[in-house]
Chain A
């Protein structure tokens, strides 16, 4: 595109300044874990892996990462197993009241936030005896993410031809078999993206486990990271640095996986 010299310089300056604004706060995460004497300062002196060794001494560090994996994979699975069949029905069957159903699904999913509903969610967990349980957190997270997952999977299914399902139907396949053997393989890319999305959302979620989980053995990394830097003071900055990086890596890997395989742009709008 043709641009005047002053336009070029303004653009370049803007891009450099904005990039620095986004880069500088995050740079610490990639330097401090390898710094022999980490402080709040952005630097890399005396490089070593001692911080990771120090972190490994903490009995709860790895445990909390495992807990995060359980919460996130559990939520992803529930979303797929429950959301995909629902999305399929909503895509293929024009039952009476479907549009009303979709309308209220959209409305409730945007109105009810974790912050606004935290009291009843806590009481619900108390009453159902799911405080301090894995499935308690998983179902609450799934409840919040399901509507968006259903909408995306429905759009995805809408774009697929029905001819395979119709043929299978004519040859006498049951509804369950059609879903399992014909639909699932075709919408697999959509399922993979939804799983990764639900995983990343749950992996980073702080509020729900913060409210529902009190037992330190079941706390996920989100809450553990917070306890490290609020409760223990400056002394544990080594642990915070190393743990922060380890906790972040899976999210970045998943992002690059989705970006390479399916292109992030299209799914850019999915974030709770």
Chain B
């Protein structure tokens, strides 16, 4: 019996002992089918629709035509598209890179030096902002920023109508609040993985916390910084969440690309144009994802 088990584990190196080929494909195919239908096909369909004049109403609803790059040409002369691109750019750089990554890192680093009780208390508060469903946090921020009696104005003793006078700044701060937990957790894991002896040596040599940060911590966690920034950029770039607070307004001041696509598709029913914008989003996602995957691979090697 013993020899047989050994023989079994040896053939297993080629991967055939545990599962037969038939069973393997039987186990694998449902997931593959769902992913093809709801992930792969929509990607290519978006690109196809982007070169048509498909609308849900009117003539082209019955018989959509391929109009080549017409939608993209239209986007290039559409101020609303450029506005949306600019809003998305400011939102992403401001809330993800300058906001979540920087705040998340400093939280992780400072909490690392504090007692476990303080650390877990602060972490729970930060994580709560990340866990609560988006339609709830959106209302919480509408209340928080309310012009008459909102908490922020109560603290500042002002009556600023934040969502009307500073809508983009408001959703940037909102999204920092909403998403910092991810960067904090990632950097906390990264900082904890630095060998204790390295920090010890620096401290004995008389390095201040700031010097430890520059000479030991930042170089050690550089790959994590890149991963973090790429991932949160990807998510923030695709975010639809602020729609629940501002609906893209006032005017189009907070009309992120995701909201621009939604408005063109499901409000104006102009599926062709909406899809061409979505195709541009897919292209940007592709570039970001390829960088994430390539750098991730390099690190694991």
Contact = CB atoms under 8 A, between A and B. Distances in A.
Contact of B136 (A27, A29, A86): A29
Given A18-B107, A117-B42, A139 B34 contact: yes
Nearest to A223: B135
Contact of A203 (B110, B133, B138, B149): B133
B133 A93 contact: no
User: Taking each of A103, A166, A247, which has the highest tally of chain B beta carbons within 10 Å of its own beta carbon?
Assistant: A166
B70 to A, nearest CB: 17
Given A40-B143, A225-B139, A163 B9 contact: yes
Interface in B238-254: 238-241, 244, 247
A166 B113 contact: no
Interface stretch (A44-52, A55-63, A184-192, A262-270): A262-270
Contacts, number: 311
B229 interface: no
Contacts of A174: 23
A175 B19 contact: yes
A41 interface: yes
B31 A86 contact: yes
B133 A222 contact: yes
A42 B9 contact: no
Contact of B240 (A3, A25, A115): A115
A103 B293 contact: yes
A82 interface: yes
Q: Is the interface of B mostly helix, strand, loop or mixed?
A: helix
B266 A115 contact: no
Contacts of B295: none
B17 A1 contact: no
A100 interface: no
Given A115-B281, A119-B274, A248 B132 contact: yes
Contacts of B282: 111-112, 116-117
A78 B30 CA distance: 10
A215 interface: no
B285 A111 contact: yes
User: Taking each of A15, A119, A147, A251, which has the highest tally of chain B beta carbons within 10 Å of its own beta carbon?
Assistant: A119
Given A40-B149, A115-B257, A1 B203 contact: yes
Nearest to B173: A21
Interface residues on B, range: 35 or more
Interface residues of A, number: 104
A88 B110 CA distance: 40
Contacts of B290: 107
Contacts of B177: 21-22, 25
A159 interface: no
B286 A86 contact: no
Contacts of A150: 31
B130 interface: yes
Contact of B285 (A116, A200, A248): A116
B182 A269 contact: yes
B103 interface: yes
A251 B140 CA distance: 16
A117 B278 contact: yes
A170 interface: yes
Contact of A142 (B34, B43, B126, B289): B34
Contacts of A15: 110-111, 114, 118, 122
A53 interface: no
B289 A110 contact: yes
Nearest to B6: A166
A119 B240 contact: no
16 contacts: A11-B114, A22-B125, A22-B129, A25-B151, A39-B149, A92-B15, A109-B39, A116-B238, A123-B271, A163-B5, A166-B17, A206-B244, A221-B133, A222-B133, A223-B135, A268-B182
Given A22-B125, A85-B31, A113-B285, 14 more contacts: A25-B141, A25-B177, A28-B140, A82-B31, A109-B39, A113-B281, A115-B240, A116-B281, A117-B42, A166-B17, A175-B23, A178-B19, A204-B134, A223-B135
